[in-house]
Structure 1
Amino acid sequence: MGRKLQLNSLKSKIVGHYMLVISITLLLVGVVFSLFMHSYYYVGIERTLTSYSDVTSSVIKSLGISDEESLEQEATYLLNVVKNNDTTVQIIDLNQSVITSSSGFEVKENIDTIDVQQAIQGNRSSWQGRNEATNERIFAVSTPIVSHDKTIGVLRYITSIEATKKILRNIYTASIVVGVCIMAIVFLISFTLANSITRPIRTMTEASKQMAQGRFNIKLNEDYEAEIGTLAKTLNYMADEIVKSDNVKNEFISSVSHELRTPLTSIKGWSETMLLGDLADKEETKLAFNIISSETNRLIGLVEELLDFSQFQAGKIKLSLTNVSLSDIVDEVIFQYRLKSEKKNIHLQCLIQATPFILADQNRIKQVLINLIDNAMKYSPPHTKITVVIKEDRRNAILQVIDEGIGISSEHIKKVKQSFYQVNANKEGTGLGLAIVQQIVQLHNGTLRIHSHPSKGTAVTISFAKSIQKKRESPFS
């Protein structure tokens, strides 16, 4: 029967619960059935004997028997009239002595059973017991013989119930056998059902142990039904996500190592050049300091980006919300990037179609715009335009950054907002810029959409809910 049934195991509990429910059900059905059968047979016997008594009472009335003496005189004749082959008939006087009996044992035999006593008092009654002469179980119904509202004797019908008891014993035995068969069938069904549940769970448990040891290439069968199949799919999904997470971690380590190595190498190289070179050469010394400062700033930017990302992932970022002008933020950032764009021969322009206000953290919104313009410049060739657009609709303030750069293919556009993902691995950066932008926009309950065509450029659209507007006063306008 497969694996051994162990106590306290899921299989044993399933089987045990099934067996308990069926046992209680069979017990209740058995009790009700036995009571019904017992009542059916014994009530049937009592009714039959009672009907015989009613017929005999009418015969007694027709014979004109009016007192105890005439009853004793007519007893033999009366017995011959009312007796039948299925029962024994007794006529008993008020002293509980048998006057006559169809069985032949009527020699002044005293009957002191409760049915006879009740009949002498004028009440029909029944009794079940054992016949001392034959040692068999009998059932008796005693009916008072009444004349002029006075009891003058007792008419007693007796029948053996040995055959009935045998029938009932056979029925009960058959019922027990059927019950045992049902229990056996239920046990097999519950055991099979328990196996169908616990076998895949054991498989998943073993697979989970192997996954815990780092073997994520294991694939579970997902064809199981209901919750078991869902669990298998979940475990497979978990393994895939862990593999993806490991890949992202490895890519992150590789990317960060590469990004840190370049500025560190540059700083180390120029530091050594300065130590070994002629410090009196002011031009070279100034160049070295400029490069060291630039690379240091680059390192600080990388570290800040990583710190931001870790805080976003941990949910530790708290926004300082104020009512801010989106156009003021755009003016400030464009002013900061004007010189950089001119050096790259990229035309950076702003197109303000509206001056909406939003409830936002000004520094974080500025960080969003800086990231988007940085990305646009990184992937835009010289003599192209980057346009920052501010507009609004009925409910939202809309910020767009549109470039004429290399664009993003449909293969990559779905992934660019993922952490550490880079369209071009040879480009500078950690691949966290758009992931951080996405996090900041979501914290402001905004939406971020990216539309791009290879070789034609990219448009990033961000929407924020508008707040109360104030008069715009920008020092950069």
Structure 2
Amino acid sequence: MEIRKSEEFIEREIKSYNNESPNESIKFSVIKIIMVFVFTVVIGFEIFSFNSIRTYYESALADSMKNQARINQLQYSNYMNRYDLSDIIIGDKNIFYRQNETQVQILDNSGVVLYDSLGSDVVGKKLDSFDVNSAIEGKQDFSKSKREGSGEKVMSLSYPLLSSDQQVGIIRLTSSLDKVSKRITEDAFWYVLFGVVVTIAALIVSFFAATSFVRPINELIGVSEKLAAGDYSVKAEVKGNNEISELASTLNNLSDNIIKREDMKNEFISSVSHELRTPLTSIKGWAITLQAPEIQKNEDMMGQGLKIIEDEGDRLSMMVEDLLDFSRLSSSNFKYNKEKLDIVELSKQVHTQLFPRTSSRNIDFKFVTIYKNLPVYADKNRMKEVLINIIDNAIKFTEDGGEIDLILDQEDEKVLITIKDNGEGIKDDEIAFVASKFYKGSSSKSQTGLGLSICEEIIKAHGGKLVIKSKHKVGTSVIVEIPRLEDEKVY
């Protein structure tokens, strides 16, 4: 059943992978993540670069205009400050601003245009731009605008003209931003080209990286498909020391476990078949024998045959019961009816129940404990089954006149139940396997080989463990350790 579950799990995983659309593949996801990151970085870099270039060129132009305005101011204050601005303009003594390559406007302190080097129709009109208003207040400042009609983008600087520390007017320089925009466009082209190259390179690198990443996964899928097809000998190649190699190791362990469980299943079927065949053969043989007329007249032979059939029937019934118990306990759906239980009282009941069997064989069966009460949290019927199974084994392997002790003790937070006998014991090379499923050892008194295995399953389900100590021809001690119920007084 567990093997079948493993096969179904592998098949489900493979189908789930095969049903994924290309857009949901790991390879595509890796490429998408890398490209989103690269594209975001490139776009951010392009925006930053464009703003930096624009700021650089506009700042350079602004500095140039500011230097020119400062020179004009020095020329005016050094050579022409004895003239009014209107006299300078009318008298054609305006050499101090004639050297400018930009548009030059001379304004009075109220912002009215006295002169325009381009001869525009704004002469005699008051300008109301931001830079002019700042200059009226004695501050130099810039503003950006568009020329009327042409729509050309320009930058204007209004600079106060001083004479003897008194503002006598404003010089306003206006320069076109077309050359700046052209330089920005030229430089931005190379940055955009660089971004495109980086994006394409990142796409190529991410493709090969994703392919390299997915390749071992595809190999593992191939191994999984073979496992799902029933080829459990296939192994995944373990490379490196990462999550993929751990997955490959896990897959190999799964394959090994399936093989082991397959062997256990075959061994189980073989053992059960052998064990059931023996009593059935005896029953069938005696059933045929007892049908013979000469045997039917022989009462002793009839009684002997019927007794053998009865014994073999009981043995067959016990085997079936053990198999059913083992199957139920191994199932994940099996539920234990755990409750607060006094293990001392339960042990006394088992001792009383089995005492007549030991007395009939003159076996000294003693119950030993200094405690009146040892509380545990357990399934009463299952714990009783454990005690009966272990004591039954002790009786079976102890000679007439021997000794069996049922000892109860506690150690730390554990309750210890020890069944000790002076029977034939277990050989050293067999003691490690006696609790294994269907292991019967070399003794002729062994039966299904499931008794101790069932006991161990029950004890593990109670959070305990089963310890077996034995010496051949001396005796055996089977120790059951289970947790004591917490916060309960012990008497």
TM range (shorter): 0.7 to 0.9
Give the structure-2-normalised TM-score: 0.77
Aligned to 1:103: none
1:371 aligns with 2:385: no
Amino acid in the other structure paired with 1:300: S
Output one character per residue of 1:295-318: Cα deviation in whole Å (capped at 9) or x when no partner. 111111111111111111224243
Seen in structure 2, the aligned counterparts of structure 1 residues 283 and 449 have a Cα distance that, compared at 3 Å, is same
Offset from partner CA, 1:423-468 (integer Å, 9 cap, x none):
4598743432222111222333333223345665543211234567
Q: Does the CA-based 8 Å contact 1:326-1:355 persist in structure 2? A: no
Conserved in 2, the CA contact under 8 Å of 1:407 and 1:453? Answer: yes
Q: CA RMSD in A?
A: 4.0
The CA distance in 1 between the partners of 2:113 and 2:449, in whole Å, is 113
Identity among equivalent positions (%) equals 26
CA shift for structure 1 position 191: 1.9
| Distance of 2:324 and 2:289 partners within structure 1 | 32
Q: How far apart, in 2, do the equivalents of 1:455 and 1:139 lie?
A: 113
* Aligned equivalent of 2:328: 311
Matches of 2:258 and 2:193 in 1, distance apart?
56
For 1:305-344, what aligned pairs fall within 5 Å after superposition?
305-314=322-331, 315-319=333-337, 321=339, 322-324=341-343, 325-332=345-352, 334-338=354-358
Counterpart of 1:433?
Answer: 451
* Amino acid corresponding to residue 73 of structure 2 in structure 1: S
Query: 1:36-57 CA deviation, whole Å, 9 max, x = no partner?
Result: 3212321332233124324423
- Contact 1:130–1:138 (8 Å) recurs in 2: yes
- Matched residue type, 1:288: G
Tell me by how many angstroms 1:267 deviates. 0.9
| 2:279 is the counterpart of 1:263 | yes
Q: Cα 1:14–1:421, aligned 2, differ >3 Å: closer, same or farther?
A: farther
SS of residue paired to 1:271: helix
Q: State the AA in 2 paired with 1:461.
A: I
Matched, 1:274 2:290: yes
Counterpart CA distance in 2 for 1:71 and 1:170 is 41
* Counterparts in 2 of 1:97 and 1:388: CA distance versus 1, 3 Å: same
2:315 is the counterpart of 1:295: no
Q: Corresponding residue for 1:183?
A: 199
Matching residue within 31, 36, 39 for 1:23: 39
Q: Deviations over 1:125-171 (max 9, x none)?
A: 434668999x9986543446578999976534355656644543343
Taking the aligned partners of 1:394 and 1:220, their CA distance within structure 2 comes to: 46
1:25-424 equivalences under 5 Å are 25-62=41-78, 63-73=81-91, 75-79=93-97, 83=99, 87-88=101-102, 90-92=104-106, 100=117, 108-110=119-121, 118=129, 124-127=141-144, 139-143=155-159, 145=161, 155-159=171-175, 164-277=180-293, 278-314=295-331, 315-319=333-337, 321=339, 322-324=341-343, 325-332=345-352, 334-338=354-358, 349-350=365-366, 352-357=368-373, 358-359=375-376, 360-376=378-394, 386-393=404-411, 395-403=413-421, 404-409=423-428, 413-424=431-442
8 Å contact kept, 1:116–1:154 = no
Distance apart, 1:361 and its partner CA: 4.0
Cα distance, 1:151–1:460 mapped onto 2, change above 3 Å: same
Q: Which aligned pairs between 1:436-451 and structure 2 lie closer than 5 A?
A: 436-451=454-469
SS in 2 for 1:216: coil
**Code of the aligned partner of 1:402:** K
Task: Find the residue that maps to 1:445 and give its secondary structure.
Answer: coil
Structure 1 segments unaligned to the other structure (5+ residues): 101-105, 472-477
Bigger shift: residues 446-455 or 271-280:
446-455
Q: 1:416 to 1:26 in 2, by over 3 A?
A: farther
Provide the C-alpha distance between the structure 2 equivalents of 1:201 and 1:426, rounded to a whole number of angstroms: 53
- Distance (whole Å) between structure 1 residues aligned to residue 153 and residue 222 of structure 2: 66
CA contact (8 A) 2:105 2:171 kept: yes
Cα distance change of structure 1 residues 115 and 413 upon mapping to structure 2, 3 Å threshold: farther
d(CA) in 2 for partners of 1:263, 1:341: 26
Could you tell me how far apart the structure 1 residues matched to 2:443 and 2:35 are?
A: 64
2:92 & 2:170 partners in 1: Cα distance? Answer: 14
Residue identity in the other structure for 1:254: S
Structure 1 residue 380, shift from structure 2 partner: 6.6
Distance 1:33 1:376, change over 3 A: farther
Structure 2 CA distance for aligned equivalents of residues 264 and 369 of structure 1: 30
Alpha-carbon displacement from aligned partner over 1:237-258 (angstroms, at most 9, x marks no partner): 1111111111111111111101
* Alpha-carbon contact 2:107-2:113 (below 8 Å) kept: yes
Query: Please, what TM-score do these two structures have when normalized by structure 1?
Result: 0.79
Q: Secondary structure at the match of 1:272?
A: helix
Cα distance change, pair 375–190 in 1 and its aligned pair in 2 (3 A): farther
State whether residues 275 and 448 of structure 2, in contact with CA within 8 Å, keep that contact through their aligned partners in structure 1.
yes
CA spacing shift, 1:173–1:425, aligned 2, 3 Å: farther
Residues 157 and 174, structure 2, Cα contact 8 Å, conserved in 1: yes
Q: Which residue identity is paired with 2:257? A: E
- Any idea what the Cα deviations from partners look like across 1:170-205, whole Å, max 9, x if unmatched? 432222232223223322332233223321221111
Q: Does the 8 Å contact 1:327/1:355 carry over to 2?
A: no
Residues 166 and 466 of structure 1: CA distance in aligned 2, closer, same or farther (over 3 Å): closer
Counterpart position of 2:16:
none
Matched residue, 1:10: 26
Determine if contact 2:347/2:387 at 8 Å carries over to the other structure. no
Aligned partners of 1:91 and 1:425: how far apart in 2?
A: 123
Count of residue pairs the alignment pairs up: 450
Contact 1:128–1:138 under 8 Å retained in 2: yes
